[in-house]
A = this chain, B = another copy of it.
Amino acid sequence: MSETGVTAPKGFVAAAVTAGIKPSGNPDMALVVNQGPEYSAAALFTRNRIVASPVKITRANAANGVLKAVVFNSGNANACNGAQGDLDAREEAEITAQQLGIDPADVAVCSTGLIGDVLPMDKLRAGIPLLAGGLADHGPAAARAIMTTDTVAKQAVANGDGFTVGAMGKGVGMMAPSLATMLVCITTDASVTSEDLDAALRAATRVTFDTLDIDGSTSTNDTVIALANGASGVRASSRELAEAILRVCEDLADQMQADAEGVTKRVTITVEGTATDEQALNAARTLGRDNLFKCAMFGSDPNWGRTLAAVGMAEAEMDPERISVYFNGQPVCINSTGAPGAREVDLSGPDVDVRVDLGTGGRGRATVRTTDLSHAYVEINSAYST
C-alpha cells in the first residue's frame, strides 16, 4: 500500500513505464491491477458521439460489472483511427490479459493524448510486459504516467470505517464533462457489489467532474473507472461508500481545476433563484463557458455586465429586471443594475467566487467550477500538435 493513489487500498498493485510514445521521454504507460478476492467494477464514459477505440472496448468489458486490470497510455488518444484503432485497443487488452493470466474481457483500456495518430503498437507491445513485471506499490508512478498537459500528478485517498478508497486522475483541458471527465481510476478494498459501486460513482461524478467546465470542449476519451476488491474484509454500507468516493472525486476535481490549462484564476460560479436545479446548472455552465466573462476574470476585471449578457442567453427562466450578481461576496449588480463600488471590487487573488441570482424566487441552485481564459491557454492549445 502507498499512502496515496490507486495503491492506497489493500490488494491493488500498479506499475508505470516509459514506452516511448511521448516524444518527451516522460513515462507514458501505466497498469492498475486488482488482486481480489472480489472484482466489482463500474465505469462512466464521455457523452461525445465520437468515442475513442479504448472507450468502445472498455464500455463492452465493463458492462458485466467485472474488471481485473486497467491499462493506460498517454501521448496518443487512439481516437479516430478507424478499424485499426479498435484492433489496437483490443490487442492492448489481450496482451495485458496474457501477461496477467486473466481473461481479456476483464481488462479496461484507457488512452489520452493527440487524436488521430495510429498507436505505435511496437512500443506498447514492449511496454506491457514491463508493466506486468513491475507491479507493486506504484500508484504515484502510475498517476505521473497518465499525465498529458497536466503539470502535476493527481491522486486522492479517503478512509472509510475499515476500508480505503484511492484514486488517480488526469485532465486539464478539453474538459466539459456531462458524465465524466478525462481519465480517472478509483480503487477500494471495501466489499461492494458492482451495482452499489456504480450508484456511488454516478452520484459522485454528478456533483464533481460533471460540474467542472474548463473550456466547454468534451473529450473523445473521458473514462472514470472504479474497482472494488473486498480485501479489507469490510462490507461498506452504500452511504459510507458513497461518501468516501465523493471525497476522492471532490479532491481530484479540485486538483484538475487548479491545474487547468493556462489557469491563473479558479472561478466558482453559483447560480440560484431559478425554478429548478437544472436551469441553474444550465445558466452556470453558460456563464462558465463565456469567453468574454473568462477574459475579464483573467484581467481581474469586475465587468459584471458581461455576466448579465452571458446568463441572458441561458436556457433558464429569469426576471431580466431582478438579477443580482456578487463577486467574492460583494454585490456588484442588484436588480440588474450596477451596485455602488462595483467597478472597484478586488479580483486580484487566485480564487474568484461568483454568485448570480436570476430573480425568479425559485429554489433552484447549482455550482460550476471553471477557470479564466488566459494567454497561456491560447499558447498551450495553439502549439499542441505542431
Q: Which residue numbers of A lie inside 8 Å of B, CB to CB?
A: 47-51, 77, 79-82, 84-85, 114-118, 173-174, 215-220, 289-292, 295-296, 298-301, 303-306, 308-313, 318, 320-321, 323, 333, 335-338, 342-343, 373-375, 377-379, 381-386
Question: How long is the Cα–Cα vector from A306 to B385 in the complex, in angstroms?
Answer: 11
A313 touches B382 (CB 8 A): no
Closest to A313 in B: B218
Q: A115-B304, A116-B337, A299-B384 are in contact. List 9 more A-B contacts (CB 8 A).
A: A115-B308, A115-B309, A217-B306, A218-B309, A219-B309, A220-B309, A303-B384, A343-B385, A375-B375
Q: Do residues A80 and B336 form an inter-chain contact, with CB atoms below 8 A?
A: yes
Measured between beta carbons, the chain B residues less than 8 angstroms from A304 are 80, 115-116
Q: Known interface pairs A309-B174, A311-B50. Does A296 touch B338 (Cβ–Cβ under 8 Å)?
A: no
Chain B CB count within 10 A is highest, among A115, A323, A333, A379, for: A115
Q: Are A305 and B80 in contact (CB-based, < 8 A)? A: yes
Contact A50 B336, beta carbon cutoff 8 Å: yes
A292 to B382, CA, bound (A): 8
Docked-complex contact A384 and B217, CB < 8 angstroms: no
Task: Say which residue of B79, B215, B320 sits within 8 Å of A49 (CB atoms).
Answer: B320
The majority secondary structure among interface residues of chain A is loop
- What 9 A-B pairs come out closest when comparing CB atoms? A115-B305, A299-B382, A50-B312, A295-B381, A82-B337, A116-B305, A48-B312, A298-B382, A116-B338
Q: Name A295's contact: one of B295, B320, B377 (CB within 8 Å).
A: B377
Determine which of B114, B118, B217, B333 lies in contact with A80 in the assembled complex, contact meaning CB atoms within 8 Å. Answer: B333
User: Is there an interface contact between A50 and B320, defined as CB atoms closer than 8 Å?
Assistant: yes
This chain: copies in complex: 2
Q: List 6 A-B contacts (CB under 8 A).
A: A50-B309, A79-B305, A115-B309, A217-B290, A299-B381, A301-B383
Query: Which among A48, A80, A295, A374 has the greatest number of chain B C-beta atoms within 10 A?
Result: A80
What chain B residues lie within 8 Å of A81 (beta carbons)? 337-338
Residues of B within 8 A of A298 (CB): 378, 382
Neighbouring B residues of A48 by C-beta, 8 Å = 309, 312-313
Q: List residues of chain B with CB within 8 A of the CB of A77.
A: 305
Q: Which residues of B contact A343 (CB under 8 A)?
A: 385
